[in-house]
A and B are shown apart, each in its own frame.
Chain A
Amino acid sequence: MEARSAVLTHCLSPVVEVVDAAKTYSDGFEALQPVNLSIGTGEFITLLGPSGCGKSTLLRMISGLTKPSSGEIRLWPNQKGGTAKAPSQSTQNKLSFVFQSPTLMPWADVRANVRLPLDLAGVPRKTADSQVDEVLCTVGLSDFASSLPKALSGGMQMRVSIARGLITKPNLLLMDEPFGALDEITRYKLDSELLGLWASHKLTVIFVTHSIHEAVFLSSKIIMMGAKPGRITQEFLINEPYPRTPSFMVSKEFLEYSQTVQASLMKASA
Chain B
Amino acid sequence: MTKKIKLDTELFAKIFIPLFIGLLFLGTWECVVEYLNIPPYLVPSPVLMFKTLILDWTLLSSALLVTLKITLLSFLLSTVIGVAISFLFVQSRQIERALFPYAVLLQVTPIVAVAPLIIIWVQNTTLSLVICSSLVALFPIISNTTLGLKSIDKDLLSFFELQRATRIQILLRLRVPSALPYFLGGLRISSGLSLIGAVVAEFVAGTGGSGSGLAYQILQAGFQLNIPRMFAALLLISITGIALFATMAWITQRLLKDWHSSELTAE
Is there contact, CB below 8 Å, between B258 and A100?
no
Supposing A65-B162, A121-B163 touch, asked if A107 and B259 sit within 8 A by C-beta, the answer is: yes
User: How many A-B residue pairs lie within 8 Å, measured between CB atoms?
Assistant: 52
Q: Does B259 contact A103, Cβ atoms closer than 8 Å? A: no
- Chain A 103-118 residues near chain B, CB threshold 8 A: 103-108, 116-117
Question: When the two chains form the complex, which single residue of A103, A104, A120, A148 contacts B165, counting CB atoms closer than 8 Å?
Answer: A120
Q: Which B residues are CB-close (under 8 A) to A148?
A: 258-259
CB of B105 to closest CB in A, whole Å? 33
Judge whether A120 and B160 touch: CB under 8 Å.
yes
Q: Are A101 and B259 in contact (CB under 8 A)?
A: no
Residues of chain A within 8 A (CB-CB) of B153 are: 101, 103
Cα–Cα distance between A63 and B169 once the two chains are bound (Å): 21
Given A99-B155, A105-B177, A107-B177, residue A150 in contact with residue B165 (CB < 8 A): no
Size category, A interface: 20 to 34
- State the majority secondary structure of interface residues on A: loop
Q: How far is it, in angstroms, between the C-alpha of A117 and the C-alpha of B260 when the chains are bound?
A: 23
Q: Is A97 in the interface zone, CB < 8 Å from B?
A: yes
Return chain A residues, CB-CB under 8 Å to B155.
Answer: 99-101, 103
Asked, given contacts A120-B163, A120-B164, A120-B169, whether A106 binds B158 with beta carbons under 8 Å apart, the answer is no
A64 located at the interface, meaning its Cβ lies under 8 Å from any Cβ of chain B in the complex:
yes
Q: Which single residue of chain A is at the shortest CB-CB distance from B156?
A: A103
Which residues of A are interface residues toward B (Cβ below 8 A)? Answer: 63-65, 95-97, 99-101, 103-108, 116-117, 119-121, 148-150, 168
The 3 A-B pairs at the shortest CB distance, nearest first, are namely: A99-B155, A103-B156, A103-B155
B residues with a Cβ closer than 8 A to A are 153, 155-156, 158-165, 169, 173-174, 177, 180, 258-260, 264
